[in-house]
Amino acid sequence: MKTRIKELRARHDLTQEDLARMVGVRRETILFLEKGKYNPSLKLAYRISRALQASIEEIFLFGEEDLKNS
């Protein structure tokens, strides 16, 4: 799954560490999310959307392949 976390994080001048602290995860989790190597729980996706002031749909981009593999 592709995300816009890195882009939105930069817009808010947040480091991976800053965002991780805000949403209660480790920095590595944010790194894996940004690289598309980790699918967040709904709870984490919600926390990230609140922290980045964007909707879940704006942050997490689902393509046809993502929907087929779920």
Domain positions in the chain are 2-65
Q: How far apart are CA 14 and CA 67, in angstroms?
A: 30
pLDDT-based confidence at residue 1 (cuts at 50, 70, 90) = confident
Helix (H) or strand (E) holding 51: helix 42-52
Question: Residues 14, 29, 27, 36: is their CA dihedral positive or negative?
Answer: negative
Show the CA angle centred on residue 29, arms to residues 23 and 66, nearest 5°. Answer: 105
Q: How far apart are CA 68 and CA 43, in angstroms?
A: 22
State mean pLDDT over 60-70: 63
State mean pLDDT over 6-27: 98
The CATH fold of domain 2-65: 434 Repressor (Amino-terminal Domain) (1.10.260)
26 is written with which tokens? 């480790």
